[in-house]
Amino acid sequence: MEYHLTMPLKLEDITSLCAGDIVYLTGTILTARDEAHAHILEKTEKSENIPFDLDGAVIYHCGPLMQEKNGKWEVIAAGPTTSARMSKMTPELLEKHNVLALIGKGGMKDVTEALRGKCVYLAFTGGCAALAAENIISVKEVHWPELGMPEAVWVLEVKEFGPLVVGIDANGSDLFSKIDEKAREIYSGLK
């Protein structure tokens, strides 16, 4: 199935999605990579303020290339980064914050149970940095720029952002695990 969803997302928006579905998103997404995840968790642990709203948020595993023009930020490239790097931090992030969707590339390890009933993983094809940038309407805010351009949290307004493939749905179906299992079957049959 194909879905065109508008943020802010609601739980019922994501629980109806199945692994393999195609999704396009319109609204606000946040970029966050390793350092931003660590910063969010550290601030949460210390009960410190986080300057952006994670309630119902969509987090894009992305380290965008930005350019400042006339006092405004423009997106040059915004392709997905490897999501597996955030796998260890994801269960705690989802336990403490109501993030409803994660976007990235390459799948995630050991997060299926943490996503169950509350979040989906949406895969974006690697190498699509220019395509992704075309679907970003504007940069609304930037937080923690001291982490560096790729690690800062960029608040982006997107329109028909995708196509995204539901890689792990909220019901425990993991497309990447299924592909891995099938590949192992085929490979073992070749020996």
Q: Where residue 190 falls among pLDDT bands split at 50, 70, 90? A: low
Q: Given this structure, which CATH class describes domain 2-190?
A: alpha beta
Model pLDDT, residue 55: 94
Residues 6+ apart with CB under 8 A from 149: 63, 64, 65, 66
Q: pTM score > 0.85 for this model? A: yes
In the annotation, is 61 catalytic? no
Mean pLDDT of 107-118: 95
Q: Is pLDDT larger for residue 32 or for residue 186?
A: 32
Model pLDDT, residue 179: 67
**Residue from 4, 37, 61, 97 carrying the catalytic annotation:** 37
**Can you read off the two tokens belonging to residue 126?**
């690697």
Q: Where residue 146 falls among pLDDT bands split at 50, 70, 90? A: very high
DSSP state of 166: E
Among left, alpha and beta (phi > 0; psi -120 to 50; other), residue 56 is left
User: How many residues would you count in the chain?
Assistant: 191
Among 27-41, 44-58, 123-137, 163-177, the minimum mean pLDDT is found in: 123-137
